[in-house]
Amino acid sequence: MKTVVMTGGTAGLGEVAARRVNADPDIRLLLGTRSASQFETLPLDLSRLASVRAFTHATEEALGGTRIDVLVLNAGVQLATNENRTEDGFETTFAVNHLAHYLLLRSLLETLADDATVVITTSDTHDPRTNSFGAPRDLDPEALAHPPVQGRFKAGFQAYSASKLCNILTARALADARPRLRVIAYNPGFTPGTALQREWPVWARMATVMGRIMRPVARLATVEQAGDELVDLALNRTSPPAGGIYASLVKRRLTWPDPAPLAQSDDLMRTLWAQSAGMVGLEP
């Protein structure tokens, strides 16, 4: 029996993926979530590092020595501004999308099977070639963790895009450190209906309405397809090409492009890993 541990499985494409995984009698799904669910769950609030630590301890106890075959880090937030701060003092988007998952990954690293699969959900908004509105042009982890407060939508979108760059760099660092693991950074693309944009201002949420209307013409993926692709990647039903780590769902087709140049920087990869470790109280 395979063991799958997952975040972000109660809504959107994550819920689609969780339902598919849970329906397989040969898979045990363990879901971290803030609220009750139809699946086997353990409490997890990604905005609190103490909750992440408690979740990893509870996971190890629940597994009773069983190794994790698949770790899916799918949860995320996309806020309207960068005004929010967690109880640990970090900007919320950076804390939830990157820092909490970094801590969770590091804490469960020795519980992973030697040939386990790790999938981290990212976004093509990290790339200036596909996002001219708010893609990061550089990376300063400390500035992302403690930015000047801005009540503008652009600041919130920039925080999200930068956190998605962090997801890819984390995936690359993990793959470099543990070459036997199968590590994938998955971009589901713009998928209207995921509720990820629920915190956006009304005028910005119109983009999701237009996305639903234009979905057939623009060939945007449905929530169901995005979730199905996530499952196929996690369960090794879709294999990456040699050296492939960035899976991108574009026009309803899974592709393996190069991520943005910043995401390919080894210096930034090492800097983010080390500074993130310091922020959560771990050795690099």
Q: What is the pLDDT of residues 122-134, one digit of tens each?
A: 999 999 999 988 8
Q: Parallel, antiparallel, or unpaired for β 246-250 and 253-255?
A: antiparallel
CATH of residue 273's domain is: 3.40.50.720
Range of the domain at 222: 2-280
Q: What's the confidence (pLDDT) of residue 35?
A: 86
Q: What is the pLDDT of residues 143-190, one digit of tens each?
A: 999 999 998 989 999 999 999 999 999 999 999 999 999 999 999 998
Q: Are 78 and 196 in contact (CB under 8 A)?
A: yes
Q: Are 171 and 118 in contact (CB under 8 A)?
A: yes
Residues 226 and 215: their CA atoms lie apart, in Å, by 13
Q: What's the confidence (pLDDT) of residue 191?
A: 82
Residue 49 has pLDDT above 60, yes or no: yes
Q: What is the pLDDT of residues 79-98, one digit of tens each?
A: 999 999 999 999 999 999 99
Q: How many domains does the chain have?
A: 1
Residues 51 and 182: their CA atoms lie apart, in Å, by 27
Residues 260 and 128: their CA atoms lie apart, in Å, by 7
Give percent of the chain with pLDDT exceeding 70.
91
Q: What's the confidence (pLDDT) of residue 220?
A: 82
Q: Does this model's pTM top 0.75?
A: yes
Q: What's the confidence (pLDDT) of residue 211?
A: 55
Q: What's the confidence (pLDDT) of residue 36?
A: 81
pLDDT band at 101 (very low <50, low <70, confident <90, very high): very high
